[in-house]
Structures are given as structure tokens and as C-alpha cells.
Structure 1
């Protein structure tokens, strides 16, 4: 994905200490330098116009495990988003070669899952976190409240140690936080070390101790994840150090605490759980943390300037880069590569844009970066997508987008995804990926994003909403010791294992090929007088005019040579638009499944992708044309197919049995457009335009 013109990435460099302190002091008093210049450029209503492209890759999934229904204690619950079947939010394999996988439920249960002989997982309760910390344990308000995460010491098999994070109601405990926000503390995030007497046991027995407690003024964006770096070898400096992703407590966009080095909120922390040199003496602060020598800073900080760092992970290969998914405030969801000392800029920056906290209109909060942005030393995302709100959005409501960080795939079952960072959106369950080769901190560009499709065990194409049986998926990811991936949903408390990949529209179209059909005797135009067949081309020389009946293309010709009805078919040709480029809505179409003048399908190739009838896949079934492609979101579709008057290669693959349709342009390996439709499953092929002029040459039609 190409970056917005406003995106000017800079390699991170730490600002000298006096400037850091001065900037923090001045930020509460005056606007950042350069903000006025950015404001003059105007607010960005569509900060990242480029949308994820079709990948043509589908994931096959099989149900792995289903968990018991739970409810948030102690209640009552007023937010329906908390009333999920089971609020499972992670799967990770224990580092003890037992094959057991740990799954936490925010409502307070820690499950272990063992694989059965048929490959399914059988969960059983290992530890009841809610009961252990009752009555202070709290999970009844805020999407991340409750038993948030569990991670196991790399040497768990020998020492039996593991770590959890949970939330407590401040009014229900006498404990005092080690750190807290400036506003009144209402909730505590608590990190606990557990030591199992028998690490091989399937039910916990042993001891525990609290190592860190952080106070929060709000019910959301607490301690989201705690984890060890699994790529750190036995003698590596990072071995056994615990990373914590700490949100800003839901204190709003005007909160400057994520940029303050005096507080842990809005940060990634890094601690030694077996050390003692912290203020409370219950854990250690690694001496190589970036701010241990900075006056006024807490040494636990590893990186800062985050709103809600929800999930992080390390690439098992190469330089073992660390990535974190950061949930945005207003418009942008981001994934950052994390290095020691990074400042990600919230709440002066949202993703790779200025966040204008002074704007009175929430529609005006996202601005391009100022020309002098480099001097602030912010680190910008390697991957990002915006919220793409509907046209009637008023800028004040929640669109329903939240990134969930995932994993770089390095397993063996999915070779098509090796080296890809797999992640998604918590709310709608979209699955996305970017190639790690494109995720470069100093490239000046965001990495191209791609959509992933899903297929169930029967081969049917589905969505996460279908699998979760809910419009709100609450998607999370898991990974086992072999690097294979899992999908989780709180909506129905189920986990699916990704078992393979398949190419979209991969039906067999070999066996018969029809060529050399450009003679006019092989064509049946709707309006013959408007067509020319000079020998090697089919030329629509005059634009068609709208005809009675359903709204449909005005000028096209059907190929009469060859079979009367193609089912599985591949259409290859070169097309050219003859209408001048100044006509923004010009187009040509490839026709398939043609059964009559009011029953056919077509791929519309246009230089405009902003209105419903352009640049998509459509079906005419005795009614006005209906758009069926995956790329249309109500505002824009796939990137424009043709923007000039040159010849362009086009391939359309139509698989009748599955309904899959893929459109490729200029020899691309990935489809520009995809669709699944079974309205019409066979018919003739053809070429034309909705209401412009153009031509076709080199037509080849392949079928079984």
C-alpha cells in the first residue's frame, strides 16, 4: 500500500535529554510546532485511501476447540459487548514439549487444551483466576477487563513459573498501586507470578506472588498482553525478560500521559520478573532498557507513545523483529516495528498522521504531517489501515474498527504465507496480511495490505462472522510451538485451526481452448451498426444507448463460436478503452454466463472506482445489474483497472461449481477483483461497454 502524501517516515533517533524534558513540559501549554502548517493543508477525511488488495489466497480452517459458557463476575453487566459466549482471547503452547496449549478467558478461567487423536482440542480448567482473587477480581465493565493474558517462563518445564495479568476494582482492595495515573484510580492491573509444584500437572497447585500493580482511571486500555521473547536463546540478553503492553487507561485524546516518561501508561514495558531493583523490590529493571539513565523517567519503559498496544509478537526468523498492533482513536489502525526507545507519538500522532487535539470538529482531527516532522523523532507504522466510515458518518460515533496484532508465519503447513505478517480486525473479523519484506521502518511507505479469504472444512467460502455466528467477531489469534496459526472468537467461544491454503477460483479450465475468433461472423452484437470487425479486433466504435428493461450495459457483443454454454471458464484477452481519458467514467466489460439480453454477468473495467456501477463484478438477472464483488465497500471498489488508452491484458476466471469469479489485469498474480455468485452458472462470453467505446483482441476462451 502506498503511503499518503503526508507520510514521511524518518529513522528513529533519540532526542537529547534536555529537549525531551522541554518538549514534555511545553506540550501541556502550547501546540506542537508545525501543527499550524499542517492545519493549513486541511483535514484528511480519508487518510489512507488505498484499501487492502485481493490476495487470491484462502485459508482453510477446521474447528479445533469449543469452550464452556462463562459470564463476567461479579456483575451486573450493562455493556452487551461483554456478554459473549466465552471471552477467550489467546492461545499459546506451553514451552515444555507437552503439546498443551493455554487459553485464558477474560471472565476468569485458565484452560489447558490437549489435542485428541482426531486433531481436535479438549479444554479443561487449570486455574480459576476469578475465584482466587475474589471479591476484588473485576470483569464487568470494559472490553479488556478481567483475566487478560497468561505467559509461561521459557524454562517452565523445569521451574514451573508462569505469569498472569488480571484487573481488580480499586474500591474492593486495600492494595496500593506501584504506579497510577494522575486521575482518580478506579481499577488496578495486576501482574502475578505463579509457581506450579508439578509443572506437568493438569491442575494447578503451588504458590503465587504479586510482582507489579498499575492503577488506571478508566475501564479500558489496561495491561493488554504480557509475554517473553520466544526467539531469545538460552544465553541471549533478552532471555527471561517480561514485556508488558500497557494502554493509556481510556483517558481520551487530550491525555498526554503516553508521552510522559514518568508513567507506564501508553507504553511497552520490559522487566526482569526475577530481579529486585524495582521500586517495590518484586522485579528487576534491565540495565539496558533505554531510559534507565534518564532523570524523571521510570526505567521499565521500553517504548512509548501508544494508545492501546493490544497484541505484540516476534518474527521467529531473520532479525526477530518485534511488532505491535496499536488500536487507534479516530481513524487509523496501526502495526509498528518496535525497537528500544521508540516514540510512537500518541496523542500528538495517530498512525502516520497528526492528531489535532485542538480541533472542535472531530471530522477535522486527522492532518498530514508537517514539513519539519523529522525533528520530533516519532516512529511511524509499517502497516496501517483506516476506518473507511460510511458516507453518512458524523465523525462522533464508533465505526467499529480495532486492529488485533498477529504473527509472522514461519510454519510449514502454509507455504503461501511464509514470511507474511498475519493479523486482522477484532470487530468485523477481517483477516489481513503484509509481506515482511515490505514492512520497512525507513522506506517512506506503508506496506501493501492484502485480504485473506476463509473456507470451512467442507470447502465452502465463509467469513469469520459466519464462523462466529455474530456480526461482532471479537477476533484473536493463537500460535503453537510449530508456528501454526489459530483463530479465536469470543462470540461463540470457539477456536479454529488454519490447516491449509487454497487459491481462489482455482477450478480446472484446461482441456479445450477457443482462439482465432475475431471475425465478425463469430459475434452477435446487441446493436450491429455500432460495431466493426476489421480482422484481429472487435471494435465498439459507437457508444451504446440505454435500452428498455433492466439497467444493464448498453453496447456489447456475444461470442457465438464455440459451446453454447460455458460453466468453468477462463477468458483471456487484451482490451483498450477508446473513449478519451478526460471522461472519468469510461469503461469496457467482459461478459460471461450470458443466457439472454437480460440474464448475464460481467466484469466492469473502469478508471473510476468511486460509484456503484463502476469497476466491479455484476449480475443482470431480469432486474437491474447487481454488484457482487468483494471489493466494493459502499464508497469505493477495487483500484481502477484501466486509466489510459493503452492495451491491457485481462483474465476472467469463472468457476461454476463454487460460484467464484476472479478478474486479473496486466498479468498480475493476484486478482484485482473477486466475487462469489451462483445466480447464473453457465452461458456464453462476450465483450463491450456500458456506454463508451473500446476494443478487444487476442481472445482465448478455455474450458474443460
Structure 2
């Protein structure tokens, strides 16, 4: 999650300045791009910044490590582009703000307060940053000064849409009653305190439930405690989970026959050039990190902790550390002997390629980025011989040697979650850029439009990507498949995919697909029988009660970004949890407001 881009989205609620304010250095720099004309300072002279080759080289390295996932110098991506930042503020103000942004805000600095009011977040103090490092970063940023980029091609698209989805989300009239179950172990001293992400019940005749922390730990939930089952850092020394933004232990999936074969699958991130990649690109494009899919063989499937060996199935280079391989899963409804049984689905994001001038990586149908793959992990007819290509994949029978036969469907920015409804409908959530969030019906061979579409709108990846346009009159010729659910950033900033409720605690919710927004923590629902490709289902909002009292996840976490996630445990028990504070809640009922 992606992903700190959320700090740049407008939130309809005004968030009071908290004692702890969190934004990475990269996002801080982007904040200086905005502000009223009367607050703009004189253009900084070149002599304010180092210009020697050694400082620029060091600054570039530090920028790539800390900033490039969110920013570049020509395009707004996760955060604003930095092309004019050193021309908009003085070097002294910039350094002072970097050193201690909370203090500058608290002292009432007009620019600082304006930026906080606009973005609802600020970064923590960076007083620990060495002067030489800060000078090098700012020197490199200044060396990349560019005039604002024109919206190339917009004359053909018409005016941008100021409110892509004008209809708001109506109240459902229902309140979900939540019971706090536990707090996950803190794996950091800064927010998010616990990067708890995906919950899964071990398949087969099992009563075991698992939950992973993206910093590298897979837990088993036992009552109201979490016990360590597996540590990826202990198994893979090249494992990295910094600087966050969805890096780390991305996802995991037990083979449907795990109790018999002991096979478990994970995705995780490693340093650049840790090993040769199966999916790479031209050397002229940077590699931010690598995503690795591993098959693990548990020696004793009934054991309380993992003990065994792993083998690498595939490795993917990524332009940045965002939009990676954050989902792997098996179809839980597939039965032995059916074509989908044991086939592993893999959601591969665009890696930030689109907003970093490499949109062709995900647009090309024969490249891995921006796709959902489907493989047979027990097969061997792939190019690297480590896994199989299912014969019923949509492109498996192609005779073109360039065809990427692993592809199941394509056209995604960040296919963050994959799930199935009880009637067998496949659902793929896609976290959007700056305008639209979407939930799609997964269909073999379908193209969902990215980077030409965001939701049911045109996006101009050659120009400015912070706006969208109406579909053209001849749009049917594009043959894109559009979402079953979408909402714009009046309602939230990043979709947190969920599940169809099948539990017994809240009969009024049965048959509803329950999901929400990662950032503001609002909880939504739609009728699952309305989930049809291209026909947007009607969303409704569920209010929240904890201990019988109305509340919100922003209040519960005491933070603007809640990092809300959803999971299903034993017997259809429905869970909601927040990475920000590591709190885990169980849905204990539903009642009229």
C-alpha cells in the first residue's frame, strides 16, 4: 500500500495536528510544489546548492533510495513531482523544514501550515540526517530542475473532469458492531506500528488461521494471540522491507493440498541485483528492487512453526518499490479434478513504471507488469522451467514466441487483492492514481485499461496524470473491460478490498460484499449479486460502533491514515484491522443506526 501516496489525497474531514506527524522525506519535498503565490519565495540561486560531481552522485543515490518511489521531476505520481521545488522556496527554508517540520508547523509558519492543511500530514523530524546527506539530496534535486510539464495531448481529450463520480455514497442505515480482539506485536516504533495485511484459513480440514506482517513475519492466530509461524528475513538474508510502500512480505498462499504436500507460497522483496531476474527490461531503466515468488516445502504440515526448504519460482525487476507483487492466491472454490484446482494467481503491479516514463512496460501485453498471472506451480513448461503454464490460460496456445503465456488478464496499475464470491465470481481490486478506485470482475483475457484508463475514465499517461477525461464516442473500439464498483477521491483514496459476508453474527449483511478505503477507514458494502463487469454496483456506507459507541477508524487510530484491511477467519468470521496501530477487530453484529 502502496503506500504513502495516500498522504496527498484530499480528505473531506479536517484532521487536527497530532503529536506524531509522519511523512517520508520524499513526500516532504513534494509539499513545497504547492502554495499560494503570495507565499512563494524568490527563486533560489544556484550557489545555494552544491554542484560538484561527487555531491550530485551521492545525492542521486540517496534520492533513489528514499524519494523516487513517490516522486520524479516531470510527473505527479504518488506525490507531486519535484521539478520546480528548489525554485519555489529558498534553500534555507527548505533545510529548516526538513530538519524539523513539526516544529516549523507548530510555530505558525504560513507556508508550513498551508501545506499541512492541504495534505493533512507532515513528516517527522529529520534532525538525525547528516548535513552532508541533506546537502547532497537537495543538490541533486536542484540539478533536475524542470519547467512544469504541459498536458500533452489533452486537446484531443476535452476538458478534464472536476468530479469524476459526482454521486456520493449513501448511508446504508446499518451499523456494524466491532469487538476488539487483540493488538498485533509492534514491528516498528513508527506508524504503521504493525503492517498486518492478509488473513487466511489454512485449507483442508484445518482450524488454523494465519496473518502476515509485511515486515517479514507470518503469524498463526491462536485465540487472542499471534504466534510466529515463519520469518522470511531468517530464511532469505536479502529480504528488505524498507522504505515501506508495500515492500516486504507481500503475500502468501497455502496450496489447497497443504496438509498432504506441505507446499506454501510467498512473495517478498529483495535488493536490486540480488539475483538475475526472469522478467527484466532495458538497462537504461532503473531497477528499484526485485520481487521474488518462492515455493516452500514444510517438512511437517502439522507443525506449529515452519521448518523446511524453499525454491524460487520467478523473480521480477521493478522500476520503483511501489505497486509490486502484493497478491498470490488459489481459487478456494476450485475442487480436485477441475481445471482451476491448484493454479496460482499472481497480481503484478506496474512497479511505478507509468508515472516514471516507462508506461510501455505495463501497456505491452507480452510483458509481466500490470497483469494478473496464472501458473501451475507444480509444472515445468515455463521459460525458466520452474513452474508450468496451464493449458487453459487464454494465451497458452499462441504460436508467437513473444507471447507471455502466463497472463490471465491485464491492464492494472496495482492489482492489490484477488478473491471469489460464493457464486464463483472472481474479483480483482485495483488501486488507482489520483482520481478513481476500482473493483473488477476477473475474466480470462480481459484488458482493464491501464495505463490508458483509470476506472471508466481516460487518463493521459503522456501528459499530466492527476486528471481524467470522459470516454470518447468510439470507446467500444478499445475493448476495455470496466469496473463493477468504482469511487472517486471525494469518498476515499485507495480501495481496501474485502469479501462477501457469509458469517452468522450479522444476518443483515449476508450476501453483501464488504470493503473500504485504506486511508480514511470508511467501510462500504454492495450487494454481491450486483457485481457485473462494466455495470457499477451501488455503494452504501456502513457506520461503525465499538463497545456500542459510534466511532470511525480515524478516531480509533487517532490518525488521518488508518491503513484499514479486511480478513475472514474460521466459520466466516469477519475481521477488520488497521496497520496504523495494529488493532484487530471482529465483526460481532449489525444493527440499524
Q: TM-score, normalised by structure 1?
A: 0.60
Contact 2:391 2:397 in 1 (8 A): no
**Residues 531-590 of structure 1: CA distance to partner in whole angstroms, max 9, x if unpaired?**
xxxxxxxxxxxxxxxxxxxxxxxxxxxxxxxxxxxxxxxxxxxxxxxxxxxxxxxxxxxx
- Select 1:446's aligned residue among 536, 560, 580: 536
Report the CA distance shift for 1:359/1:185 in structure 2 as closer, same or farther (over 3 A).
closer
- Deviation by residue 1:25-78 (Cα, 9 ceiling, x = unmatched): xxxxxxxxxx889623x2211010011110011111112232211139xxxxxx
Structure 2, gaps ≥5 residues long:
1-152
Matched, 1:350 2:454: yes
Are residue 98 (structure 1) and residue 198 (structure 2) matched?
A: no
Q: How does 1:390-429 map to 2 (within 5 A)?
A: 401-429=493-521
**1:309, 1:223 → 2: CA distance?**
8
Residues of 2 paired with 1:153 and 1:65: CA distance? 28
2: distance between equivalents of 1:343 and 1:303?
6
Q: Hey, what's the Cα distance between the residues in 1 that align with 2:503 and 2:438?
A: 25
Alignment of 1:436 with 2:539, yes or no, is no
* Alignment-derived partner of residue 283 in structure 1: 387
Which of 157, 176, 188 aligns to 1:39? It is 157
Give 1:358 shift.
4.1
Query: Match for residue 178 of structure 1?
Result: 278
Q: Is the 8 A contact 2:348 2:373 kept in 1?
A: yes
Deviation sequence 1:125-180 (CA, Å, 0-9, x none)? 1111112212x111112411001111111111111111111000114x2x111112
Question: Unpaired segments of 5 or more residues in structure 1?
Answer: 1-34, 73-79, 116-120, 390-399, 505-704
Cα distance in 2, alignment partners of residues 36 and 61 from structure 1: 47
How much does 1:305 deviate? 0.6
Higher fraction of strand: 1
Counterpart check, 1:213 vs 2:315: yes
Matched, 1:500 2:589: yes
Q: Give secondary structure in 1 for the equivalent of 2:326.
A: strand
8 A contact 2:154–2:463 mirrored in 1: no
**Corresponding residue for 2:468?**
366
Q: Hey, what does 1:650 align to over in structure 2?
A: none
1:242/1:434 Cα in 2 relative to 1: closer, same or farther (>3 Å)?
Answer: same
Map of 1:273 onto structure 2: 377
**Structure 2: how far apart are the matches of 1:190 and 1:409?**
32
CA distance in 2, matches of 1:342, 1:64: 40
Note the 1:273-352 alignment, pairs <5 A.
Answer: 273-294=377-398, 295=400, 296-316=402-422, 318=423, 320-352=424-456
**Cα separation, 2, equivalents of 1:446 and 1:229:** 24
1:608-627 equivalences in 2 (<5 Å) = none
User: 1:132 pairs with 194, 213, 235, which one?
Assistant: 235
Q: 1:36 to 1:233 in 2, by over 3 A?
A: same
Q: Which residue of 1 aligns with 2:578?
A: 489
Q: How many residues align?
A: 435
Structure 2 CA distance for aligned equivalents of residues 125 and 469 of structure 1: 28
Work out whether residues 192 and 210 of structure 1, in 8 Å CA contact, stay in contact via their aligned partners in 2.
Answer: yes
**1:181 and 1:216 in contact (8 A); partners too:** no
1:63 and 1:181, CA in 2 relative to 1: closer, same or farther beyond 3 A? farther
Name the counterpart of 1:52.
Answer: 169
**CA deviation vs aligned residue, 1:625-655 (integer Å, no higher than 9, x gap):** xxxxxxxxxxxxxxxxxxxxxxxxxxxxxxx
Bigger shift: residues 193-202 or 272-281: 193-202
Q: Per-residue deviation at 1:258?
A: 2.0
The superposition leaves residues 345-383 of structure 1 with CA deviations (integer Å, 9 ceiling, x where unpaired) of 1011110011123445x56x3111111111111000010
| Cα displacement string for residues 475-498 of structure 1 (whole angstroms, at most 9, x for unaligned residues) | 111112422211121111121111
CA displacement at 1:432 relative to structure 2:
0.7
How far apart are the structure 2 equivalents of 1:62 and 1:38?
A: 53
The RMSD of aligned alpha carbons is 1.8
Q: Does the Cα contact within 8 Å between 2:326 and 2:416 map onto a contact in 1?
A: yes
* Whole-angstrom CA distance in 2 between matches of 1:484 and 1:123: 17
Decide whether the 8 Å contact of 2:484 with 2:532 is kept in 1. Answer: yes
Match of 2:267 among 157, 165, 178: 165
Alpha-carbon deviations, 1:414-468, whole Å to 9, x = none? Answer: 22111211111111111111112322225xx421110011111x21111122333
8 A Cα contact 2:211 2:218, kept in partner: yes
The secondary structure found in structure 2 opposite 1:277 is coil
CA contact (8 A) 2:421 2:528 kept: no
2:317 & 2:361 partners in 1: Cα distance? 13
Residue in 2 aligned with 1:512? none
Q: Take 2:387 and 2:440, find their aligned partners in 1: how far apart are those partners? A: 27
Give the C-alpha shift of residue 228 in structure 1.
0.4
Identify, as 1 or 2, the structure richer in helix: 2
Give the distance between the partners of 1:58 and 1:177, measured in 2 at CA: 48
> Is structure 2 residue 350 aligned with structure 1 residue 248?
yes
Q: Describe the shift of the 1:38–1:454 C-alpha distance in structure 2 as closer, same or farther (beyond 3 A).
A: farther
* Contact 2:409/2:443, CA 8 A, preserved across alignment: yes
Quick check: which has more Rg, 1 or 2?
Answer: 1
